[in-house]
A and B are shown apart, each in its own frame.
Chain A
Amino acid sequence: MKLTPKTAIGVLALSAFTLSGPAAWAQVETDEPIRIAINEWTGQHISANIAAELLKKMGYNVELVTAGGLPQFTALAQNEINLNPEVWDNSVTDIYTDGLQTGAIVNMGSLGLEPRESWIYPAYMEEACPGLPSYQALFDCAEAFATAETFPNGRLITYPADWGTRSKSVVEGIGLPFNPVPGGSEGTMVAELKSALASQAPIIMMFWQPHWVFAEVDMKWVEWNEVEGECIEEEQVRDTACGFSQASVNKIVSNNFAATWPNAAAFIEEFTLNNEQQNIMINEIDQKGRSLKEVVAEWIADNEATWTPWIQ
């Protein structure tokens, strides 16, 4: 591998992929590697690696680069990372929204994952709070979810403070007798969930799907009223509460992407992955302990009919 500043940024452990790239399917526009962001969760690893493998089949050079959730947008805007096929727009910040507006980063459309965000609780809580899954039940059984710090109110774990305060808006809007407690970070939220399940303790928390944790635990969703149009968290009353506006998962590329790799851009526009496909693979990796590389290779081998049209 030639040593340029860009390859030095690349991840050597993962860039083994680049070396083993198969013969090109088609003539590619440039040898310049497409740098794909790798975030911290398995679902994103899968999306990124499938995209990487398929781009290699098209004959491109690919590098996988570890990137934090916020810094990656700076990198995308500066063309130091070129693609992240799975960006959740629920926990992004001004850098993302401004970037899309100014054209510093480009949205290539939805990945096809259908996220769901609401409050989750374990099945055993239905005994303590019989009216569930309707949110109306929570008004009567706040004490079932109470802890020492929040009594007599229930304890609701919300997203970390830096992801916004949507749960708090809903709780205040509909006057639910719950204290929203910010979760701090994804890891601590999952830790709390695992710990509560281990000891069958009461728990209710804001969460999102698809998430690898659902491959491990069985959780129920609080249900809300249907709503026409957008559900706005801040403007709800008890009887017509609609819960949360739902996120979307987008494929984000750098602003030079379409110009530098036009065929790759056409592929990225086509590329999709749904909840079910991703959940199965997440389960194989996180639960059955198989390697990411192996699971992705298997998916590619089994789904030739799906991806062949994308890359032509």
Chain B
Amino acid sequence: MSQADAIQTVPTAKVRADVRAGWLAVIVFALLCVLAQAQFDWLETFPEALQLPVEAWFNIGMDWIVANFRAVFQTVTLVFTYPMGWIRETLHWLPWSGFVLVMAALAFKARGAGLPVFTTLSLVYVLTVGLWTEAMNSFALVFISVPLAVLVGFVLGVWGFASKRVERALNPVLEIAQTVPAFAYLLPILLLFGFGPVVGLVASVLFAFPPMVRNTILGLRDVPSDIIESGQMSGANRAQLFWLVRFPAGRRQILVGVNQTTMASLSMVIIASMIGGTADIGWEVLSTMRKAEFGASLVAGIVIALMAMILDRITFGMAEREGRGLEHRGFLKRYGFWFAIAGSIALLIVLRPALPILGAWPETWQIDLAEPLDQAIQWFILAFKPLLEAMKNSVIFFVMLPLKIGLDKAVSPFTWGFGWQPWHTAVYAVLVLAGTVAAIHAGRVRLAIAVVLGALVLLVGIADMPWPASVAILVYFGWRMGGSGLATGTALALSFLLVSGSWDKAMLSIHLTTLAVLASFLIGTTLGIIAAQNDWFSRLMRPINDTLQTMPPFVLLIPIVMLFKIGDFTALLAIISYAYVPAFRYAEHGLRHVSKDVVEAATCIGATPMQLLLQVKLPLALPNIMLGLNQTIMYGMAMLVIAALVGTSDLGQEVYVGLSAGNFGQGFVAGLGMAIIAITADRFCRAWQRNHEARLQKGAA
């Protein structure tokens, strides 16, 4: 062994010993907490004397803002009410045939032949189910909120690009705006801007502008320096350099931002409707949801999904096309198409009095799809309820309950067939110990630590874990993963939950999201892997994923409740059905983009397809898959608020209670708690990624 090797191994061994000692201390501390829990109340619940009236502070702050600045915000309302009204009136005045023509033309310009067909068929669906007026009201909101969000996002993005300091200040703001559930700030928006569609507009812009900022910064920054240099050499001044060189070069990325902003804005349509004053598709979904009319709400939900898909494909197509067709063209060639479209619309309007069918879709051409859908779900319930019930019970008894309240309480004669006795604990401890020793013996120290901690959590339950134990485990874990920065961040985040009095509810949220995220990640990644290998499966899943992602999640709640009753399990399923999609997409994307050379090389040396997948493709796609996990966490947290509608008792429910009680502080503290959990989880994922890259580089070196 060379000297260099020896020098390298010495510090690693020391670090390893430190880590072992550290984890041992944490585990002993957690065990002591658990054992002492019965004696000391303050271990179980954070002492009230140490809690701060954070809620009240938020309320005082908000009252002050409302009292002093309401007039300013009302002016904004007035300014936006007019253009919103105009767009609305214009869309209603336009014959349906004209609107279809415009959208199809846009689709053609963006994507070529296929998309106009999809666009037309989708809009015909909207006509057929008789929701045209409502859809136009939704489009009116989107058509004004997207440009606004794009404008706000672009300006902030340029500013963030120009100044590092601004970018650093912007980052947390963007993160909070994306992770605090909109329900938590609906109330102040309502108080400041007054009742009406403008509230929905504001909420939608607040939620939709962050991706635009990020993509603008990214697009402007990543312009290759030789392009900038050639601009400078041609003698461009600063403004020219920006608008004629940098901006066009970064336009593609900026258009990706437009695409993401459009989608985010559409997902707010339904939330905007909760305020009212819109009579749009969102309202239709909410009303039918309230009546538990599954069929009708699905029909309306699909309209939103289709709108989202059309706008997604069009904006995405424009981003993809960017860069092509920059050559100079004559005036007629450039604008002739649009003149032809405008001419056709004028013709349609002229013809409307003679051919009323062009303006109003005949009622006899409408079809009631809701009825058969309702019957289908009825039939399904009757046919499968016993089976589904059995499935649900086993998940609750053997997974959800133990993780929530611990094996010691979850195991009872009714659930497992026997009660938890002290000797069970003894046997359990011996088994865990044996597993740990075996793992250490095999040199897998990390596995041993995971076994001990996992066993402890399973025995006590996430919700019943003494708070000092949870804090110690998480902060130390943060320190191991990301150093002092992540440890401090985690400590601060957990302190906020403790001090604001949200700890218990936060633990319930963590319990539910942990399970949901694990399940979503497993399901999504597995399906994504299958889709990466089979084109037909990928094609089959694409519309399903798109629909689940863009349809208001409320729609899914009704059938799930009908099958599984109100409760945590239903909430779990609702979250999974929404959160598995990113895991799916990132896994498929990652696997499909593994370098062809590597795959060929592996095939040449005789790897079987299974070996190719497990030993070559998956490890290479791992960073992408982990990105999917990160997104799954974000989506899962976002869905928590919606899941509160099926009767959870966590932070999501608090957000609702705050909203309907008119208590801004209560809802916002809960919303902030959710954002903090999501952001902390995100930091852990990123730390993992950094470590992974570092390991790879070390391995390569």
Contact = CB atoms under 8 A, between A and B. Distances in A.
Interface of A: 3, 5, 7-9, 11-14, 37-38, 40-42, 65-72, 74-75, 78, 80-81, 93-95, 147-149, 151-152, 157, 160-163, 181-195, 198-199, 201, 212, 286
A188 B647 contact: yes
Interface in B120-137: 133-134, 137
A121 B398 CA distance: 31
B141 interface: no
Given A188-B292, A188-B647, A191-B294, 4 more contacts: A65-B277, A71-B199, A74-B191, A212-B291
18 contacts: A8-B81, A38-B276, A42-B291, A66-B273, A67-B277, A74-B190, A80-B195, A93-B660, A94-B661, A183-B647, A186-B290, A188-B561, A189-B566, A191-B557, A192-B561, A192-B562, A195-B381, A198-B381
B82 A8 contact: yes
Chain A interface mostly helix, strand, loop or mixed? mixed
B382 A199 contact: yes
B565 A147 contact: yes
Given A161-B649, A188-B647, A75 B195 contact: yes
B286 A13 contact: no
B414 A184 contact: no
A191 B414 contact: no
A12 B279 contact: yes
A191 B567 contact: no
A5 B381 contact: no
Nearest to B648: A184
Contacts of A147: 565
A14 B276 CA distance: 14
A72 B646 CA distance: 24
B275 interface: yes
B276 A67 contact: yes
Contacts of B81: 5, 8-9
B contacts with A: majority SS: helix
Contacts, number: 194
A162 B287 contact: no
Given A184-B646, A187-B289, A12 B92 contact: yes
Contacts of A93: 660-662
A83 to B, nearest CB: 14
Nearest to B282: A66
A5 B659 CA distance: 26
A162 B656 contact: yes
A212 B293 CA distance: 12
Contacts of B561: 184, 188, 191-192, 195
Contacts of B647: 160-161, 181-184, 188
B565 A194 contact: no
Interface stretch (B83-91, B428-436, B593-601, B621-629): B83-91
Interface in B525-581: 554, 557-559, 561-563, 565-567
B657 interface: yes
Contacts of A185: 289-290, 557, 645-646
Contacts of B648: 184
A160 B86 CA distance: 39
Nearest to A80: B195
B274 interface: yes
B248 interface: no
3 A-B pairs closest in CB distance? A8-B85, A75-B195, A184-B647
Contacts of B286: 40
B279 A13 contact: yes
Given A12-B88, A188-B566, A74 B397 contact: no
Given A187-B558, A188-B561, A8 B662 contact: no
A5 B382 CA distance: 51
B145 interface: no
Contact of A183 (B84, B566, B661): B566
**Interface residue tally on B, bucketed by range:** 35 or more
A149 B562 contact: no
A80 B291 contact: no
B631 interface: no
A68 to B, nearest CB: 5
Nearest to A186: B290
B660 A195 contact: no
A189 B570 CA distance: 13
A52 to B, nearest CB: 15
A206 B646 CA distance: 15
Contacts of B661: 93-94, 162
B385 interface: yes
A163 B656 CA distance: 10
B378 interface: yes
B653 A181 contact: no
A37 B414 CA distance: 50
A67 B273 CA distance: 8
A71 B393 contact: no
Interface in B394-451: 396-397, 414-415
B646 A14 contact: no
A231 B518 CA distance: 48
Interface string B263-290: 0000000000111111100010011011
Nearest to B657: A162
Contact of A80 (B88, B194, B274, B396): B194
Interface string B38-57: 00000000000000000000
Contacts of B562: 191-192, 194-195, 198
A181 B567 contact: yes
B566 A5 contact: no
B364 to A, nearest CB: 15
A7 B88 CA distance: 11
Interface in B317-360: none
Given A187-B558, A188-B558, A5 B78 contact: yes
Nearest to B568: A149
Given A65-B276, A66-B277, A183-B566, A190 B415 contact: no
A81 B196 CA distance: 10
Contact of B85 (A5, A69, A163): A5
B316 to A, nearest CB: 31
Contacts of A68: 273-276
Contact of A71 (B78, B195, B290): B195
B665 interface: no
A11 B283 CA distance: 12
B636 interface: no
Contact of A192 (B378, B415, B565): B565
Contact of A70 (B277, B287, B291, B660): B660
A7 B378 CA distance: 42
Given A160-B647, A188-B647, A9 B277 contact: yes
A38 B276 CA distance: 9
B116 interface: no
A189 B292 CA distance: 8
A191 B662 contact: no
Given A148-B397, A185-B645, A8 B88 contact: yes
Contacts of B382: 198-199
B639 interface: no
Given A3-B89, A161-B657, A72 B194 contact: no
Identify the interface centre among B554, B557, B565, B663: most chain A CB within 10 Å of its CB: B565
Most chain A CB inside 10 Å of its own CB: which residue of B287, B381, B414, B561: B561
B287 A12 contact: no
Interface in B188-208: 190-191, 194-197, 199
A240 B567 CA distance: 32
B644 interface: yes
Nearest to A194: B292
A188 B283 CA distance: 17
A182 B653 CA distance: 10
Contacts of B277: 9, 11, 65-67, 75
Contacts of B275: 67-68, 71
B646 A41 contact: no
A284 B489 CA distance: 59
A188 B562 CA distance: 8
A69 B84 contact: no
